[in-house]
Amino acid sequence: MHGFEVEIPTTHDLVHASRLNQLSAKAAKYDAIMSSITRSKYEGKANEDKILGYAASIKPQCGYSGLATIISFVIANLLTNARIQFDPEQLIASQPSPQNIQNLVTEHAVLDKFLLTLQSINRNPHVYLAPDKGDKKVIRI
């Protein structure tokens, strides 16, 4: 009886279909990250812009220029820790400018904070106003 033999090239690996799907998904995520950090200018999307605008509004002392600088350092740190090669110049160019961040705050965060405040007022049966901080008087409505 003769055995059946298949020669498998040593330059290839056999991968089960489920593992191939997992590897393909990881490759797609890596490609998306690399595409995002190699753009020549910032191209945010609505949900991402809301997150960034809200972050800028939480810490206004940082300033738009400070936040724009910090973003690149944080992303560079994450990529370096993950041992992902990147070009610092491209990374900086792909991030929002201080003017972009200011626009994100005015377009998204201010409206969102207003809506959250309005929602909070509508949910609570009592609203407390402090019209005169000097006398510490509080009016209950």
90: in domain: yes
118: in domain: no
Dump pLDDT digits (tens) for 43-74: 888 888 888 888 888 888 888 999 999 999 99
Using the predicted structure, report yes or no on whether residue 8 has a pLDDT greater than 80.
Answer: no
How confident is the model at residue 16, as a pLDDT? Answer: 82
Q: Using an 8 Å Cβ cutoff, are 51 and 107 in contact?
A: no
114: in domain: no
23: in domain: yes
Dump pLDDT digits (tens) for 104-124: 888 776 666 666 677 777 788
Provide the pLDDT confidence category of residue 126 given band limits of 50, 70 and 90. confident
Dump pLDDT digits (tens) for 26-47: 999 999 999 999 999 998 888 8
Q: Using an 8 Å Cβ cutoff, are 74 and 41 in contact?
A: no
Q: Using an 8 Å Cβ cutoff, are 54 and 111 in contact?
A: no
77: in domain: yes
d(CA 62, CA 52): 13
The one-character DSSP state at 40 is S
pTM of the model: 0.62
How confident is the model at residue 89, as a pLDDT? Answer: 93
Q: Which residue range(s) make up the domain with 42?
A: 19-108
How many structural domains is the chain composed of?
1
